[in-house]
């Protein structure tokens, strides 16, 4: 019969999510910004829908050179991703951020928040670190 003695038993941190959630939030926010600059949807990397001709003409006159989802910059400059109380995340933004994300009956959706594929690798590694290598093991 063979028996084993494990010197360094695998210890799992069952309370890994709160710390991981705090570490994920700024990464998720930072990873959105290149997509905003390139006028693309973060999850699928597809271009945002073009503006209607009438709105595009107005915007070029009032806010020349601004990308599709940027007039004053308030929405993107003040957007924040925070850990939510339900274990998810909450996006703090202007009142019109959700209208742009999901669209309305008069406006097509131009998703500006999502989880880019680039983020998934980083977020996965952070999760592994906090599950198996965290000092806060319970």
Domain ranges of the chain: 22-132
For the four alpha carbons of 92, 98, 99 and 100, in that order, the dihedral sign comes to positive
What is the crossing angle of helices 17-37 and 117-132, to 10°?
Answer: 160
For residue 134, the model assigns a pLDDT of 73
For residue 4, the model assigns a pLDDT of 65
3-state class (DSSP) for residue 46: coil
Q: What is the pLDDT along the chain (138 residues), one digit of tens a residue?
A: 676 666 666 677 888 999 999 999 999 999 999 999 999 999 999 999 999 999 999 999 999 999 999 999 999 999 999 999 888 999 999 999 999 999 999 999 999 999 999 999 999 999 999 998 876 555
């Amino acid at each position: 019969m063979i028996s084993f003695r494990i010197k360094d038993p695998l210890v799992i941190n069952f309370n890994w999510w709160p710390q991981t959630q705090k570490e994920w939030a700024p990464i998720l926010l930072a990873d959105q910004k290149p997509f905003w600059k390139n006028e693309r949807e973060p999850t699928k990397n597809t271009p945002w829908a073009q503006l209607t001709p009438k709105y595009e003409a107005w915007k070029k006159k009032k806010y020349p050179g601004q990308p599709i989802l940027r007039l004053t910059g308030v929405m993107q400059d003040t957007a924040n991703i925070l850990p939510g109380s339900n274990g998810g995340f909450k996006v703090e933004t202007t009142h019109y951020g959700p209208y742009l994300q999901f669209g309305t009956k008069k406006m097509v959706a131009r998703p500006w928040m999502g989880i880019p594929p680039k983020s998934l690798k980083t977020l996965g590694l952070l999760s592994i670190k906090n599950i198996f290598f965290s000092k806060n093991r319970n």
